[in-house]
Copies of this chain bind each other. A is one copy, B any other.
């Protein structure tokens, strides 16, 4: 799994357990592709500070996944629902699969 996709998934699942400040900085660097320098300037902290905060936030998210394993579980279910969608002849089954995939 590529790192950005992994971070996105972890953030989707457990992001609400970060502080508002951690969330904001994580979003700006990881999703909005801002540079460390830009984010540092905006928040009045050092580039190193931004770097450390991203690293710390990623670690927190990874620790939640290590304990709960819900991303892993979800990926496995997603794969199976994708196979159902491919296999299914029934229109209702296909639609239900699509609904599930949108939620996952």
With A and B bound together, what is the CA distance between A14 and B84 in angstroms? 29
Question: In which size bucket is the chain A interface?
Answer: 20 to 34
Stoichiometry, copies per complex: 2
A97 with B68: CB separation less than 8 A: no
B80 with A100: CB separation less than 8 A: yes
Interface residues as binary, A71-104 with B (CB distance below 8 Å gives 1, 0 otherwise): 0010011001101100111101100110110011
Is A59's CB within 8 Å of the partner chain B? Answer: no
Is A21's CB within 8 Å of the partner chain B? Answer: no
**Inside 8 A of A45's CB, which chain B residues have their CB?**
none
Q: In angstroms, how far is the closest chain B Cβ from the Cβ of A86?
A: 10
With A and B bound together, what is the CA distance between A84 and B98 in angstroms? 11
Beyond A87-B92, A90-B88, A93-B93, is A68–B103 a contact (Cβ under 8 Å)?
no
